[in-house]
Amino acid sequence: MINFEEELKRFQPIPEVSQAEDAIYSNDLKDISDIVFQVTEEMKTANENAAGRYAGRVRR
């Protein structure tokens, strides 16, 4: 049986024209290339940090 209250929760207000800008920003999702770029950047930063930490040490 349909639970009216529960079903009603599915319905959300729709954006008005004045809120279109917000809708555009909220639609700006991350795709695979964003994620890969982010991962690459993180790895690069991590490498740089690691390089900084071991700077000056003599490798055996």
Partner 1 sequence: MATKRPVLCPNCGAHIKKNGYCSSCHMPLPVLKKAFNTSDYYYNIGYDRAVARDLSGAIDSLNISLRYNKKNIMSRNLLGLVYYEMGEIVNALSQWVMSVNYQPSGNLASKYLKELRQDPTLLANVDQIAQKYNQALNYAKSEDFDLAIIQLKSVLSSNPHFVKGYLLLALLYINSDNYERARTTLRRVLKIDKANTLAIHYLHEMGDTDENIIEMSKESVENDGLLDEEEAITLSTTGAKSDNKIKLFFGDLIEKYKAKAVSRGEYGEISFAKYSGIYVLLGMVLGIFILYFIVVPAQKRKIINEKDELIKSYSEELADKNATINSLTNEIADLNVELEAALNPEEDVQNPLPDYSGVENGMSDEDLQNLINNE
| Residues near partner 1, by CB under 8 A | 1-2, 4, 7-8, 10-11, 13-20, 23-24, 27-34, 36-37, 40, 44
Nearest-angstrom CA–CA distance, 50 and 60: 17
Report, in Å, the least distance between residue 3 CB and partner 1.
10
Report, in Å, the least distance between residue 59 CB and partner 1.
25
Report, in Å, the least distance between residue 6 CB and partner 1.
11
Q: How many Cβ atoms sit within 10 Å of the Cβ of residue 52?
A: 9
> 15 and 23 in contact (C-beta within 8 Å)?
yes
Nearer to partner 1, 19 or 49 (CB): 19
> 22 and 15 in contact (C-beta within 8 Å)?
yes
